[in-house]
Amino acid sequence: MLLLAPVVTNNEASAHGTLKLVAVENTWGDLAAQIAEPDMTVTALLASPTVDPHLYAPSTDDARQLADATLVVMNGAGYDTWASKLTDAAGLPAERIIRADSWPGWHTGGNPHLWFDTRAVADFVTRLQAACAQADPTHASAYAQRGRAVLESITQLNAQIAAIRTRVAGRTVAATEPLFDPLAEQMGLDMKEQAFQTAIMNGVEPAPADIARFENDLSTHSLHLLAYNEQMIEPAVMPLLMQADTLGIPSLALTEMLPSTLPYGQPGTGHPPHWQDWIGAIARQTAHLLEKQP
């Protein structure tokens, strides 16, 4: 059983309040904590980088946490279906559930990794701030102020990504599954091997033709970067990582969960990284690796 992990601990809120926000993933939980705390306590059910959210088997404690929550935050998009089943079973009303896939830019069958898309995140922040104010009108102005601060940080992140785009747009990259694709699109990168990525995401063996195409694109140096999910490396992925390493094509390690420290040896900020820090670190590392290539 995965132990529950608080995104941010706030003893005052725990002591005087009963308002609780439960996030399914710590990516959304971190954003929720930036808006809701200290007026609500925020807990994330999934925080370990070793857990595959697609395959996670919820516990009875998870069900209790979700049923008792003032607000529930989840990704949706078929990513955490088990959580939707639990909230449905508990009879939680729709206004108490904030789903990232309610962003108008997402449609059925689209990429479920919405936390890698700053547009989806900005929409989520706006809707979550409003939901917090509705659930707790007494602190509505505080939720609005914190929400504006998060949106401003997303604006700054978008400016950073736009600056990187001017340096790397058009470079051809690939990934072993479509974690990175939304951010790569915002950076103007040319993402290849889509069929292979979809197969890995769906837990099926990629077609031989897709594997052969991937191997050929690596061997001809048609790809300048290979992104992969280090939380779960399928058998079909390992030979590609080894081939890229042999050929000197850089690899970009990614996780689905927000890490406890910034990746790639980048300097920290004195606190566990927020979502903004993490996505910025990925964008900077991507530019660093691409700009080293001819």
**Calpha distance 26→278 (Å, rounded):** 12
DSSP single-letter state for residue 92: -
Is the pLDDT confidence value at 3 over 50?
A: no
- Which range among 58-67, 109-118, 199-208, 266-275 shows the weakest confidence by mean pLDDT? 266-275
Is the pLDDT confidence value at 283 over 80?
A: yes
DSSP single-letter state for residue 90: H
**Calpha distance 85→45 (Å, rounded):** 15
Do 76 and 102 touch, CB atoms closer than 8 A?
yes
State the average pLDDT over residues 152-173: 98
The answer for residues whose C-beta is within 8 angstroms of residue 88's C-beta and 6 or more apart is none
178-188 pLDDT, tens digit each: 999 999 999 99
Cα distances (angstroms) measured from residue 54 to each of 76, 122, 256: 11, 24, 10
Residue 144 confidence (pLDDT): 98
Residue 117 confidence (pLDDT): 97
> Per-domain residue ranges for the chain?
5-159, 169-291
- 5-159 and 169-291 share one CATH topology? yes
Q: Which two tokens stand for residue 167?
A: 């340096």
pLDDT tier, 9 (very low <50, low <70, confident <90, very high otherwise) = very low
Is the pLDDT confidence value at 8 over 90?
A: no
The residue among 17 and 261 whose pLDDT is bigger is 261
- Domain 5-159 classification at class level: alpha beta
pLDDT tier, 17 (very low <50, low <70, confident <90, very high otherwise) = low
Is the pLDDT confidence value at 39 over 80?
A: yes
pTM over 0.85: yes
Q: What fold characterizes domain 169-291?
A: Rossmann fold (3.40.50)
Residue 53 confidence (pLDDT): 77
Query: Per the omega criterion (within 30 degrees of 0), is the bond before 58 cis?
Result: no
